[in-house]
Structure 1
Amino acid sequence: MADLVGLRFYSCYKCQNHVSLQDDIVSKGFQAGSGRAFLFSHAMNIVLGPKEDRQLITGIHTVADVYCSDCGEVLGWKYEKAYEESQKYKEGKFVLEKFKIVRENR
């Protein structure tokens, strides 16, 4: 636990399960159905749903919903595949909805 001191985590708003680090934020300028969202390079303590093609603001993407591994709350999605070249940077990254996560300092 000592190696976690000083880290800033984002946690599930329902159960406080750590789901990402603040240092893993790629962008705070994303939109989800419920409002603002953040793009993260990594996520932890999550479960992925099945992959599906979804029409998003920036076009069709193959995504998988992201669930908290403790309480099962849907937190956002993972970009599995982007079909447009300008969107390829999103592949393998995670969108977590701002109102579904809380920032914690250790």
Structure 2
Amino acid sequence: ISNLAYRSLLEGTSSLHLLVDDSFNEKARSLKEVIPELVVERIAGADVWGAAAGAKENTRLDYALDPEVEAAKISWIIHSSGSTGLPKPIYQTHSAALNKWVTKCVWIG
């Protein structure tokens, strides 16, 4: 999508941080030119968060989280196609994302 569309989505969601895969670096640089305050970070890969198979260290990072509170928080923002203008943000909670995943698993079998 165009930089104008990205800018509209970022402003519409009050987002100043963008997590990107390496394949998105060129677009991120382009966006940074038109939105200088944008903070661009690389999505961490297995080199950062992955533990070796059979590792003995504790890799559980969610002890302090309350599942009921977390279920209502936004997990990600997807967007419409923009067919009637600029793309519109669509907020997905953790609960909605997991329900969709479960539904898909049941459908696939």
TM above 0.5: no
Could you state the TM-score of these two structures normalised by the residue count of structure 2?
A: 0.20
Q: Which has the higher contact order (CA 8 A, sep 6+)?
A: 1
* Structure (1 or 2) with the larger CA radius of gyration: 2
Higher strand share: 1
Whichever structure has more helix as a proportion of its residues is 2
- Could you state the TM-score of these two structures normalised by the residue count of structure 1? 0.21
